[in-house]
Amino acid sequence: MSKLFSRFKLRGLEFKNRIFVSPMCQYSAQDGMADTWHLVHLGSRAVGGAGLVMVEASAIAPEGRISPYDLGLWSEHHAEALAPIARFIREQGAAPAIQLAHAGRKASTDAPWLSRSPLGPEQGGWQVVAPSAIPFAPGSPLPRELAEAELSGIVTYFVDAASRALEAGFKVAEIHMAHGYLLHQFLSPLSNRRDDAYGGSLENRARLPLRVAQAVRAAWPQDLPLFVRISATDWVEGGWDLAQSQQLCRWLKEEGIDLIDCSSGGLTPDARIPAGPGFQAPFAAAIRQEAGIAVGAVGLITAPEQAEQIVATGLADVVFLARELLRDPYWPLHAARKLGAEVPWPLQYERARPA
């Protein structure tokens, strides 16, 4: 019996398997609006058999986008555009999920296949913000330091976006606290040099992320799960690390967070990351053990046997796949055959099912 294809339940939501589609930016929206590209891209992964399909980082405010081409969820119109996507994912038996994000100092950049360079106002960009006035990299714009009085507004943006996600039909929301974006910037001592209640000690640096988690949990239905994605380490000496991540996750569990999506890096451009097959799974295992919370492993998970081993040995409760699902939207169906698991195929595709 494949553990990867066993059911998994969080709160009142049951997932048909433990293969989750990781949020992957498509840089294909105009004014933050989802369109037919997003419907086909995400819908095909739901048809392909994943247990959960997560929409890419969706900005809680226009200035929170990584690029002008990112999805957004700062208005009812954005929710209306996303609703058909959530509905189609549900119709395929997968759980529709969405990641809520603010890019902070890493915002206002070009699409990666163009230049990924920072964009000035004359190029359609905008003023970026951060916990401290420290640029992301040499040549990056100097961010404006957020005033303490503005932080309640950030919390409200996250709550409002979560409410719109619910209206659109999503069953899972994920708060983005990873990859060097705004909430991660508050967590890391490399990017947060504040001397007020939101800087200095770990408790202070975690204050805004925890406020966001608490407020979104209060707005999200009690029978539906709420995830948080973290970077377990900055991979830089003196930065955010696993021990701090474990403490953060203990606090997040107390706030009612149900699963930690364990990634790493992204805060600085010069981090030396020893990437390799499943290299972040040990972070998931360490957080699961120390914080007593469900976790997802992500990062260079490509083979069915590898994914099975991660969940079967308790390194993680689920696996998040990204690039492998770009290469093969039907990876879960193929993985089931390889692992000897009996799973249904879409009726429309049944005639192509291998004997």
Residues labelled catalytic: 181
16: left (phi over 0), alpha (psi -120 to 50) or beta: alpha
**Which tokens is 54 given?**
């997560």
Question: Is 176:263 a contact under the CB 8 Å cutoff?
Answer: no
Question: Is 332:346 a contact under the CB 8 Å cutoff?
Answer: no
**Which tokens is 203 given?**
């408790």
Work out the angle at residue 134's Cα, subtended by the Cα atoms of residues 131 and 137, and round it to the nearest 5 degrees. Answer: 125
Q: Please state, as a whole number, how many other Cβ atoms lie within 10 Å of the Cβ of residue 121.
A: 9
Q: How would you class 136 by CB atoms within 10 Å of its CB: exposed for 0-12, middle for 13-18, buried for 19 or more? A: buried
List of residues 6+ apart from 199 with CB closer than 8 A? 131, 132, 192, 193, 205
Map residue 227 onto helix, strand or coil: strand
Map residue 275 onto helix, strand or coil: coil
**Which tokens is 3 given?**
């553990």
**Which tokens is 34 given?**
């989802």
Which segments of the chain does DSSP mark as H helices, in order?
A: 36-47, 76-91, 151-168, 182-187, 202-205, 207-219, 242-254, 281-291, 304-312, 323-327, 331-339
Residue in this structure with the two tokens 């707005």, named with its chain if needed: 219
Closest CA to 137 of 266, 238, 273, 239: 266
**Which tokens is 1 given?**
């019996």
Torsion angles phi and psi, residue 40, rounded to 5: -70, -45
DSSP string spanning 83-96?
HHHHHHHHHTTPEE
Amino acid at 127: Q
Question: Is 86:22 a contact under the CB 8 Å cutoff?
Answer: no
